[in-house]
Amino acid sequence: MLSLPVVTQRQDTRARGDFGKWMLRNIDRWFAFARGLGLGIDQMEEIILVTGCDCAGSWANVTFLEGQTYGQASFGVEVVQGSDISINWQFSPGNTQGAVCNWGPEGKVCRFAKYSNF
């Protein structure tokens, strides 16, 4: 689950098919490289090809742990818009089970300027 409470910008490559073919040709090298770094990668399926990005001034995510039969998380957000945008996150640690929660930043967040293509 991912919450982006304010306007975001998204950019993705148009060459996703070419990147996929490149990854298939080079997966053995990437797997050996990642294992050599000691990153805890045990299977090729754990390597993810990232083809773009999402940019936000503030965000929160909740990741539920594998193997949990029951997981829950509770959070709220207050967005105050004016000349500046202010974000206030409220998480309930006591109501979080079988999940990892992250968020940031809080308070005044800047608006994003338009950025160029990759």
Per-residue confidence (pLDDT) for residue 112, from 0 to 100: 45
Each domain of the chain, given as residue ranges in start order, spans 2-109
Short-list 59, 56, 60, 54, CA closest to 110: 56
Per-residue confidence (pLDDT) for residue 25, from 0 to 100: 92
Pairwise CA distance, residues 57 & 104, whole Å: 8
Short-list 21, 25, 28, CA closest to 47: 28
**pTM value surpassing 0.75:** no
Tens of pLDDT, residues 49-90: 778 877 777 777 888 887 777 888 877 777 777 777 777 777
Tens of pLDDT, residues 11-28: 887 888 888 888 889 989
